[in-house]
């Protein structure tokens, strides 16, 4: 029986690949002056073992530049499907799937199947990618990714980020993925800020729920703070991070067990604006939920 | 009397002539293979030593268009499997078994075909460039890609990639055929070419056989298909969480 030629070179090859890392890593974001494609001249670079984080950094540097990511704190990078959005295009892995103009889709036709009202261009692209993942997982010994990492330009309209996140989540088979936004922390390290989405058709709380449902609307230089809990006095309008911090400290005193904030970007808000608020809110309410206008309702 | 019998025989209506479909041999071979799979599943698979070429091509296509995450995770094991002809055959058998019952009612018809040799070179070039760009390039990946290209040509050289369109799931089947000593054989099958080899390469070597990207309804149905094991898959929501979209304790909301 004929044996593949790879059997002859395979041992060395496989040994070199065994070293590839997939685990969570804390990686310093390298400046984009040294993209992956330019490092081939050095044999030492050529032979270095690459892990998931390195591949993501290489790719983000190649298409976006890690210095363009929003600034915030977060956790370590975990492997997952990675998506990049510049102001000109969206890529899933390294495949360009949708052109953008100033960070927005030119064709904003809605996919009828998308409960959150996301554009067809994003819905179809993610749906096809999940199918490719499903076929891949049937043919090879891999799982369909449970996590989606989004690396987006800080000036991207936050509404575009939400369209992408909802499209990626609504199209995944079985259940929505975990979501992380790639950010630079203040020490220049690449981190992943985990976030959730309000369900695409909103969320109806149970009768007698003790939820606070703290909600911050971001846009136009001011933020509006409200909550679904009927005991929460009134909506507050705040125009500086310092005032927002003071207000949130007061709210935390009344609701010490609550950890969650829903951030709703309004028209014109960028991802950078949103993450600035998230950073301000972070110590008091570290769990982030984003909403594209989906509401949390009390019965 | 004998003369009368001879006359009667001569006057008998000629039996109907069964005409083979007016299609290239490779497409007819692919069509026959699908019909065979519908009834006899993996019994239609060729001997293991005939299948290495397709396995090499499929690995190249995966490197050229598959998820970098999966490549990172699975490539060592897949290369190890590729070096063992029995596991190569097992992979093809599993693929055929996975889709045989689904294909039974799918009504698949061969609709397009093209020589596979230019595809091998194209996929090899894309894979090499991509692995290098992503930083997945290792010291001897150049050798691996060269060997996979060589094996693909050796095993599939002169062969044809045929696309069958089906009325139902899996909607599309790609079958690789090759001819040796006047005999056509099917040596590979898949239901999906990587995205980088379909829509993104319009006008390229794969454009005609790849066809249009599948429509939303098609993808939706495939994502719920039994063949992919997703028909009955559902994830329970652990007690105490807000919602399956907001998977954290309700007390903290």
Q: For residue range B21-34, list pLDDT tens digits in order.
A: 678 899 999 999 99
Of A195, A212, A243, residue with least CA distance to A73: A195
Residue A146 in domain? yes
Q: A40 and A188 share a domain?
A: yes
- pLDDT score recorded for residue A40: 37
> In chain A, what residues touch B195 (CB-CB under 8 Å)?
95, 128-129, 132
> In chain A, what residues touch B230 (CB-CB under 8 Å)?
134, 173-174
Residues B76, A211: C-beta atoms closer than 8 Å: no
Instruction: From A135, A170, A197, give the residue that closes a domain.
Output: A197
Cα(B220)–Cα(A209) distance, integer angstroms: 36
Q: A183 and A217 share a domain?
A: no
Measure B199 CA to nearest chain A CA, in Å: 10
- pLDDT score recorded for residue A28: 52
Residue A5 in domain? no
Alpha-carbon dihedral B218, B220, B223, B224, rounded to 10 degrees: -100
Q: A48 and A152 share a domain?
A: yes
Greater pLDDT, B54 or B194? B54
Residue with tokens 């950094």: A57
- pLDDT score recorded for residue A92: 96
Which residue among A12, A96, A140 places its CB closest to the CB of B78? Answer: A140
Please give the residue range of the domain that contains residue A110: 25-197
Measure A58 CA to nearest chain B CA, in Å: 7
**What are the tens digits of pLDDT across the range B104-143?**
889 999 999 999 999 999 999 999 999 988 888 776 888 8
Q: A189 and A232 share a domain?
A: no
Residue A84: which region, alpha, beta or left (left: phi > 0; alpha: psi -120 to 50)? beta
Structure tokens at A43: 């044999």
- pLDDT score recorded for residue A45: 37
Q: How many CB atoms lie within 10 A of CB B178?
A: 23
- pLDDT score recorded for residue A50: 59
CATH number at residue A219: 3.30.420.60
Residue A13 in domain? no
Q: Is residue B48 a contact partner of residue B88, using CB atoms and an 8 Å limit?
A: yes
pLDDT at B218 over 50: yes
**What are the tens digits of pLDDT across the range B138-167?**
768 888 999 999 999 999 999 999 999 999
Q: A161 and A247 share a domain?
A: no
- pLDDT score recorded for residue A247: 94
The interface residues of chain A toward chain B in range 142-201, judged by CB-CB distance below 8 A, are 142, 145, 169, 171, 173-176, 178, 196-200
Greater pLDDT, B113 or B208? B113
- pLDDT score recorded for residue B46: 77
Measure A259 CA to nearest chain B CA, in Å: 5
Structure tokens at A276: 């600035």
Residues A113, B216: C-beta atoms closer than 8 Å: yes
Q: A136 and A221 share a domain?
A: no
Each residue's pLDDT expressed in tens, for chain A with a length of 299 residues:
456 666 554 444 444 444 444 544 445 554 443 333 333 333 333 333 458 888 999 899 999 999 999 999 999 999 999 999 999 999 999 999 999 999 999 998 999 999 999 999 999 999 999 999 999 999 988 999 999 999 999 999 999 999 999 999 999 999 999 999 999 988 878 999 999 999 999 998 887 788 899 999 998 788 999 998 888 878 899 989 999 999 999 999 999 999 999 999 999 999 999 999 999 998 899 999 999 999 998 87
Residues B77, A141: C-beta atoms closer than 8 Å: yes
Which residue among B135, B190, B223 places its CB closest to the CB of A173? Answer: B223
Q: A57 and A176 share a domain?
A: yes
Strands A178-184 and A104-105: unpaired
Instruction: Give how many domains chain A has, as a whole number.
Output: 2
Of B128, B9, B73, B162, residue with least CA distance to A140: B73
Q: A79 and A64 share a domain?
A: yes
Q: A140 and A271 share a domain?
A: no
- pLDDT score recorded for residue A186: 82
- pLDDT score recorded for residue A220: 72
Measure B29 CA to nearest chain A CA, in Å: 24
Residue A6 in domain? no
Residue A20 in domain? no
Residue A254 in domain? yes
Q: A137 and A217 share a domain?
A: no
Strands B108-115 and B160-166: antiparallel
- pLDDT score recorded for residue A114: 97
- C-alpha A10: how far from chain center: 37
Cα(B195)–Cα(B186) distance, integer angstroms: 23
Cα(B125)–Cα(A78) distance, integer angstroms: 30
Instruction: From A197, A217, A240, give the residue that closes a domain.
Output: A197
Q: Is B46 helix (H, G, I), strand (E, B) or coil?
A: coil
Residue A10 in domain? no
Q: A117 and A159 share a domain?
A: yes
**What are the tens digits of pLDDT across the range B39-69?**
877 788 877 778 999 999 999 999 999 999 9
Structural domain boundaries in chain B: 22-225
Average per-residue pLDDT in chain B? 84
Measure B23 CA to nearest chain A CA, in Å: 30
- pLDDT score recorded for residue B193: 84
Give the residue from A57, A91, A135 with the most B CB atoms within 10 Å of its CB, the best one to mutate: A135
pLDDT band at B81 (very low <50, low <70, confident <90, very high): very high
Which residue among A10, A55, A137 places its CB closest to the CB of B135? Answer: A55
pLDDT band at B198 (very low <50, low <70, confident <90, very high): low
Q: A191 and A236 share a domain?
A: no
Instruction: From A182, A197, A212, give the residue that closes a domain.
Output: A197
Give the residue from A6, A113, A196 with the most B CB atoms within 10 Å of its CB, the best one to mutate: A6
- pLDDT score recorded for residue A4: 65
pLDDT band at B204 (very low <50, low <70, confident <90, very high): low
């Amino acid at each position: 029986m004929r044996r593949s030629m790879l059997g002859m070179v395979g041992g060395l090859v496989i040994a070199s690949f065994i070293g590839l890392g997939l685990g969570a890593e804390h990686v310093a974001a390298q400046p984009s002056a040294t993209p992956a494609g330019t490092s081939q001249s050095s044999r030492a670079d050529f032979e270095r073992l690459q892990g998931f984080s390195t591949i993501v950094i290489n790719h983000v540097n190649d298409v976006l530049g890690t210095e363009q990511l929003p600034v915030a704190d977060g956790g370590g990078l975990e492997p997952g499907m990675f998506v990049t959005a510049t102001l000109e295009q969206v890529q899933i892995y390294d495949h360009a799937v949708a052109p953008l103009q100033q960070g927005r889709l030119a064709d904003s036709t809605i996919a009828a199947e998308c409960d959150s009202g996301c554009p067809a261009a994003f819905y179809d692209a993610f749906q096809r990618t999940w199918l490719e993942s499903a076929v891949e997982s049937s043919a090879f010994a891999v799982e369909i990714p449970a996590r989606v990492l989004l690396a987006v330009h800080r000036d991207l309209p936050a509404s575009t980020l939400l369209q992408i996140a909802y499209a990626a989540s609504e199209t995944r088979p079985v259940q929505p993925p975990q979501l992380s936004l790639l950010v630079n922390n203040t020490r220049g390290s690449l981190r992943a800020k985990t976030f959730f989405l309000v369900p695409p058709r909103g969320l109806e709380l149970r009768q007698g729920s003790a939820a606070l449902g703290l909600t911050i609307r971001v846009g136009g230089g001011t933020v509006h703070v409200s909550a679904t809990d009927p005991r929460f006095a009134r909506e507050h309008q705040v125009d500086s991070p310092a005032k927002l911090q003071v207000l949130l400290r007061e709210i935390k005193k009344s609701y010490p067990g609550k950890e969650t904030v829903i951030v709703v970007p309004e028209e014109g808000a960028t991802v950078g604006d949103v993450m600035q608020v998230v950073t301000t809110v972070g110590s008091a309410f570290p769990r982030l939920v984003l909403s594209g206008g989906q509401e949390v309702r009390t019965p | 009397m004998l003369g009368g019998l001879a006359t009667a025989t001569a006057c008998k209506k000629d039996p109907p002539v069964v005409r083979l479909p007016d299609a290239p041999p490779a497409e007819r071979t692919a069509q026959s293979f699908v019909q065979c799979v519908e009834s006899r599943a993996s019994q239609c698979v060729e001997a293991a030593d005939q299948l290495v070429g397709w396995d090499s091509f499929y690995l190249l296509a995966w490197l050229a268009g598959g998820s970098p995450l999966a490549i990172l995770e699975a490539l060592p094991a897949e290369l190890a499997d590729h070096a063992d002809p029995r596991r190569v055959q097992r992979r093809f058998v599993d693929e055929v078994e996975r889709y045989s019952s689904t294909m039974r009612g799918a009504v698949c018809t061969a609709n397009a075909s093209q020589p596979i040799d230019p595809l091998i070179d194209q996929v090899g070039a894309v894979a090499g460039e991509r692995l290098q760009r992503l930083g997945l390039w290792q010291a001897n990946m150049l050798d691996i890609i060269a060997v996979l290209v060589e094996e693909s040509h050796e095993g599939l050289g002169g062969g044809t990639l045929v696309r069958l369109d089906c009325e139902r799931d899996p909607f599309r089947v790609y079958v690789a055929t090759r001819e040796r000593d006047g005999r056509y054989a099917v040596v590979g099958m898949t239901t999906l070419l990587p995205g980088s080899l379909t829509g993104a390469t319009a006008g390229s070597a794969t454009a005609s056989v790849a066809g249009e990207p599948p429509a939303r309804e098609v993808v939706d149905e495939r994502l719920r298909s039994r063949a992919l094991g997703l028909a009955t898959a559902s994830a329970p929501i652990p007690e105490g969480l807000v919602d399956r979209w907001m998977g954290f304790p309700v007390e903290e909301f």
